[in-house]
Amino acid sequence: MLDMLIAGGGYVGLSVAVAVKQAAPHLNIAVVEAAPEQAWKKDMRASAIIAAATKMLEVFGIWDEIEPEAQPITKMIVTDSKMSDPVRPIFLTFDGEVADGRPFAHMIPNVAMVGALRGACERLGIDIRHGLSAAGLKTDDTYIEVSLSDGSTLQSRLLVACDGVRSRLRDFAGIKTVTWDYGQSGIVTTVEHERPHHGCAEEHFLPSGPFAILPLRNNRSSLVWTERTNDANRLVAADDLVFEEELERRFGHKLGALKLVGDKRAFPLGLTLARSFVAPRFALAGDAAHGIHPISGQGLNLGFKDVAALAETIVEADRLGLDIGAINILERYQSWRRFDTFRMGVTTDVLNRLFSNDMAPIRIARDFGLGIVDRLPGLKSFFIGQAAGTTAKDNPRLLAGETI
Ligand SMILES: Cc1cc2nc3c(=O)[nH]c(=O)nc-3n(C[C@H](O)[C@H](O)[C@H](O)COP(=O)(O)OP(=O)(O)OC[C@H]3O[C@@H](n4cnc5c(N)ncnc54)[C@H](O)[C@@H]3O)c2cc1C
């Protein structure tokens, strides 16, 4: 019997495996991942990863491997305008450093992050089984039994479901969600530009949704471009020349000529919050517990906080000789994470509703708010600390750069 089975070998699943195994090497851990072994290498996207999460990657011993691929975000500007406005006035600027001299976030290619996490799993002797999905579960007093897509079963003292926002395991466990669709999709692609971005990230609030330009290494930027779902699908299906023309209307010419260098894909956007994060011998982590709008680039960062809190809960229980799958232990994890994820879900929801519209009174009020934040240095550094995750009072040890 396994001590811990993780369903879903994405960033969150792999991180849970590394965090627990590093602190409790005697635990027998396995990961089942639905996708084939090499599928992760095809992901051309990148994610904004906050300072607190990079501290956890340092404790995992993989930051040195990731850092050469990671672009520090040294500055951020925010604008609020219509497509037809001749200039976009800047309402808010952030210089990107938090207290200890780190940038508040880095843009990390997904391939670099997953590759490094997989390397760590291999060094720790964690068994990752590919092309196998968890297809059912049965809970007993002392273990949970998971049936797999090849007809086999695995028994474990604890199952951690990290199978993404459409988690089937969440359904199998009978956990309901609060869910709604924004009717928007986020188009993600990568562009190369003539001139350097100097580490500056930009978020332009346009009436159809935020348009984010996020700096990557070597004069490239990752785009997260929100449109109504029909328009997003039409744009992604369009010829590259048509797509580039629409892109230039939003991106502008400040970085010189643009060239598409990545796939373009549209991701439907919604809010999904699990009503419970735990059940007997069962815990949800990452998007399986909470899928949020990418307006503030915090989805995976929330998932990393789940990882750190869950690992600390499990390892401490194990050190005390307690049952790591017992519901009273798992409830500690739930009470640690529920409020924070709910707050972030609501914040991103409100921000999206506030900024993805063109009503004059709302525009005036939000621009007034942005202007106040921009003029008050204390308030601004408070927001930077919050965004970087370094000032949260309830941070688990891994996010403070400490071992469990
Ligand atoms: C447009 C967009 C931009 C974003 N940008 C950012 C950003 O800049 N910063 C940030 O922090 N977040 C960002 N996010 C959010 C981020 O991508 C997610 O939070 C993150 O992918 C969640 O990771 P995860 O491991 O929980 O789930 P996933 O990445 O969805 O991984 C789930 C894994 O489970 C596997 N799986 C599924 N079902 C099963 C099963 N039954 N059995 C076994 N395996 C299974 C899948 O194959 C997959 O590998 C963005 C999201 C979107 C849509």
Would you state the pLDDT for residue 48?
Answer: 93
Rounded to whole angstroms, the Cα distance separating 284 from 278 reads: 6
The candidate with the shortest Cα–Cα distance to 5, out of 281, 326, 207, is 281
Question: Helix or strand or coil: residue 330?
Answer: helix
Atom of ligand 1 nearest to the CA of 14: 25
pLDDT in tens, 374-401: 666 665 566 666 667 777 778 999 999 9
Cα separations (Å) of 95 from 12, 16, 78, 80, 384? 29, 32, 12, 19, 9
pLDDT the model gives residue 206? 83
Query: pLDDT at position 392, please?
Result: 76
Please tell me the predicted confidence (pLDDT) of residue 262: 80
pLDDT, block means (10 residues), the chain with 404 residues: 97 98 98 95 92 96 97 86 65 65 89 97 96 94 96 97 97 96 94 94 84 94 95 94 90 88 92 97 98 88 96 98 97 95 85 71 66 61 66 88 96
Distance between Cα 164 and ligand 1 center (Å)? 5
User: Which alpha helices (H) appear in 87-184, and where do they start and end?
Assistant: 110-124, 168-172
Q: Is 300 near ligand 1, meaning CB less than 6 Å away?
A: yes
Ligand 1 pocket, 186 CB below 6 A?
Answer: yes
Instruction: Return the ligand 1 atom nearest residue 50 CA.
Output: 11
Task: Indicate whether residue 156 lines ligand 1 (CB < 6 A).
Answer: no
Indicate whether residue 223 lines ligand 1 (CB < 6 A). Answer: no
* pLDDT value of residue 377: 62
Question: Domain 2-71+108-179+271-355 classified CATH 1.10.569.10?
Answer: no
Measured CA distances, 281 to 91, 136, 143, 278, 323 (Å): 48, 14, 7, 8, 10
Q: Does residue 224 have its Cβ closer than 6 Å to ligand 1?
A: yes
Cα angle: 172, vertex 299, 36; to 5 degrees: 60
pLDDT computed for residue 47 by the predictor: 94
pLDDT digits (tens, 9 = 90+) for 289-343: 999 988 878 899 999 999 999 999 999 999 999 999 999 999 999 999 998 899 8
Nearest protein Cα to ligand 1, atom 38: 163
Which one-letter amino acid corresponds to residue 55? K
Q: Is 395 in the pocket of ligand 1 (CB under 6 A)?
A: no
| pLDDT attached to residue 119 | 97
Its pTM stands at 0.92
Mutate to test the pocket of ligand 1, among 6, 43, 47, 263 (most ligand atoms within 8 A of CB): 47
| 16 pocket-lining for ligand 1 (C-beta < 6 Å) | no
* Distance from the alpha carbon of residue 292 to the mean position of ligand 1, in angstroms: 11
Do residues 303 and 285 touch, judged by C-beta distance below 8 A?
yes
In Å, how far from its chain's centre is CA 381? 23
pLDDT at 79: 80
How much distance in Å is there from the Cα of 303 to the middle of ligand 1? 9
Query: In angstroms, what CA-CA distances link 9 with 32, 37, 76, 150?
Result: 7, 10, 32, 17
